[in-house]
Chain A
Amino acid sequence: MADETNTKKFLYINRKAPYGTVYALESLEVVLIGAAFEQDVSVAFVDDGVFQLMSGQDTAGIGMKNFSKTYRALGDYEVRKLYVERESLAERGLVSDDLMAITYEDENEDYAEKPSIHFVDRSEMTKLISEHDVILSF
């Protein structure tokens, strides 16, 4: 990791479902590119943003690239803190099992696979926002 004094805490907030608009894909690309700058990156999924992590996405019928698999590469890019808001899931009739499993390999623990997704309630999400230096909204 970079020197802590030079490291800022970035929070990307995703609030749009994928495919209907370009927000979700753009956000993912910015996260991947931004990962090269070795900052402390977290990604939040609020409102329709939770649909970005749905398992079983199949875009064959709409002629668009299924980029849901790419979220599973985030661990390689050291983006290992994905926060999903419980209330946003519940409002949409979703439960945690509806989402993909996303893990990272912890190099400090012999590459043990650990979950990247953390489910947080609204008050925790609110706290997360106030703990970050930079908020990027999509």
Chain B
Amino acid sequence: MGAYEVNGTVAEHDEEGYLTDIGVWNTDLADMIAKAENIDMSDAHWEVVNFLREYYEEYQIAPAVRILVKEMTKKFGKEKGDQKALYALFPYGPAKQACKIAGLPKPTGCV
């Protein structure tokens, strides 16, 4: 257990760094979580994070990696909907690491 602190607000997270309350998420918080993960957020990173948040909003789950790849391909084209490209952005796994930055719970099925 612990908490992220940004601009005076405190956001609690679990032992793996996932936010306990997805409602407290904001972009400053995302930047801070990314920093803790050694990720410098670029536009490409934001595209993935925003996509995950939209997917979660619609379906109440974070998609598995292969679903993320498939849906990113549909939306942004083959270059971005590519597993290697996604792992280049999020070395510890696009679903796991990007979800953490997006303030979402750990994806179903991720151990």
Within 8 Å by CB, do A and B touch in the complex?
yes
The answer to whether B109 and A67 touch across the interface, beta carbons within 8 angstroms, is no
Tell yes or no: B10 within 8 A of A by CB.
no
In Å, the complex CA distance between A29 and B105 comes to 14
> For residues 14 through 69 of chain B, which have their beta carbon under 8 Å from a beta carbon of chain A?
58-61, 63-64, 66-67
Q: Does B12 contact A (CB under 8 A)?
A: no
Known contacts A76-B67, A76-B70, A76-B71, A32 near B108 by CB under 8 Å: yes
**A69 contacts which of B58, B66, B108, B109 (Cβ < 8 Å)?**
B58
Interface flag for A33 (CB, 8 Å): yes
Please report B residues at the A interface, Cβ cutoff 8 Å. Answer: 58-61, 63-64, 66-67, 70-71, 74, 108-109
Please state if A69 and B60 are interface contacts (CB–CB under 8 Å). yes
Least CB distance from B59 to A in Å reads 4
Chain B contacts for A72, CB-based, 8 A: 58-59
Q: Are B63 and A76 in contact (CB under 8 A)?
A: yes
CA distance A32 to B108 in the complex (A): 8
What 5 A-B pairs come out closest when comparing CB atoms? A73-B59, A33-B109, A69-B60, A70-B60, A76-B67
A60 at the interface (CB under 8 A from B): no
